[in-house]
Amino acid sequence: APSAIQGITGEPLAELEKSWMEDLFQKATWLSYISNHFYELLFILAALLTFYGFLRVTIRIRTYRDEDEDEAFVAEALRAEEKAHPPDPKQ
């Protein structure tokens, strides 16, 4: 049987199989990879988006906390200024 295949194709069976395997490997494109691993890729994307959202919320909370501390500092400084220099009742 191998000699009949070699007679028809002109290639030995091992070479024919090797070229067939290479052809199968080349047909595996990124689209087939995505379709075969869709749920894994979807899970990874959801995990990355969750982590990104967590970082944004954490940064936003820190920013608000810093703003609140700044506002409290300014309010305290204004109260201290008013105590040190009360407004003139004549004005």
Among 44, 62, 64, 40, smallest CA distance to 52 is for: 44
Digit-coded pLDDT (tens) for 15-65: 888 988 888 777 667 778 888 899 999 999 999 999 999 999 999 988 887
pTM above 0.85, yes or no: no
Distance of alpha carbon 84 from alpha carbon 86, whole angstroms: 6
Distance of alpha carbon 20 from alpha carbon 22, whole angstroms: 5
- Are 6 and 12 in contact, with CB atoms under 8 Å apart? yes
Each domain of the chain, given as residue ranges in start order, spans 1-36, 37-85
Residue 71 tokens read as 């506002």
